[in-house]
Amino acid sequence: MSSEEFEKLHEMYKHIYNDLKSMPEIAAKCRGEEKKRVVREFDEKSGEAEEVLKGMDEELLLAPSSFRNPMSTTMRMYRRDLGKLQRDMKSTDLGLGFGARGESKYGAYTAENEHSTQLQSQRALILQGTESLSRATQSIERSHRIAAETDQIGTDIIEELGEQREQLDRTRDRLIHTGENLSRSRRILRSMSRRLMTNKLLLSVIILMELAILGAVVYLKFFRK
């Protein structure tokens, strides 16, 4: 059960119902004042049972959803059994001088039981609808949070990709500059290579000229007399 209060009311109803269920049979065997006394006692205890059931209805509204459905079934069974006892007692209420009053009273009890059962069913349906709406609202809120988180993740990814693109652009610019520097270095190396070859040729010509001059000097000094 849902609470300590509901347990107490449940035990009270069982005790009252146990007293009530034998009264229609007792009233059927009694006559005169004794029968009137049994009917009056039944009226009092039946009213007490109705009050206890109303208290249980109030506790039912505060019960968790996991307990509410079995509790609602139990309450409907209690009202059905109480209504049956009231009808049984009404069938014994004949020839006592208050048949019309008794019929009206028990009819009112039965109608009140049926009305209370309908109200209980409607309350249970309303509570179930409210819980379903609450769960749907929570689900929508979770979906909104997930969508917001997904949007934030997408934004972060776009920003990160933008940063990576800027880095790639800077790297490409550095590679272009490096390529230009390598081209200039190759041109300088080729120019230096050409100058080196020219210097080698000039040096070779100078050496040859010096050897020719040296040969001419030797010839003129030693061989021409």
- The domain spans of the chain are 4-152
Among 23-32, 51-60, 117-126, the minimum mean pLDDT is found in 117-126
Residue 24 burial class via C-beta count within 10 angstroms: exposed 0-12, middle 13-18, buried 19 and up: buried
pLDDT at 115: 58
Distance CA 47, CA 49 (A): 5
Lowest mean pLDDT among 27-31, 37-41, 115-119, 183-187: 115-119
pLDDT confidence of residue 79: 85
Fold designation for 4-152: Methane Monooxygenase Hydroxylase; Chain G, domain 1 (1.20.58)
| pLDDT at residue 78, as a whole number | 82
* Mean pLDDT, all residues of the chain: 78
Q: Mean pLDDT over residues 121-148, rounded?
A: 76
SS (H, E, C) the chain: CCCHHHHHHHHHHHHHHHHHCCHHHHHHHCCHHHHHHHHHHHHHHHHHHHHHHHHHHHHHHCCCHHHHHHHHHHHHHHHHHHHHHHHHHHHHCCCCCCHHHHHHHHHHHHHHHHHHHHHHHHHHHHHHHHHHHHHHHHHHHHHHHHHHHHHHHHHHHHHHHHHHHHHHHHHHHHHHHHHHHHHHHHHHHHHHHHHHHHHHHHHHHHHHHHHHHHHHHHHHHHHCC
User: Which residue type does 151 have?
Assistant: D
Residues 6+ apart with CB under 8 A from 96: 35, 36, 39, 102
The answer to whether residue 87 scores a pLDDT higher than 60 is yes
Higher-confidence residue of 65 and 210: namely 210
Q: Which of 25, 5, 12 is nearest to 78 (CA)?
A: 12
pLDDT: which is higher, 224 or 114? 224
Task: Identify the residue with better confidence: 204 or 143.
Answer: 204
pLDDT of residue 121: 61
| pLDDT given for residue 206 in this prediction | 93
pTM of the predicted structure, to 2 decimals:
0.39
Percent over 90 (pLDDT), the chain: 5
Stretch among 4-18, 65-79, 143-157 having the lowest mean pLDDT? 65-79
| Cα gap 108→102, rounded to integer Å | 10
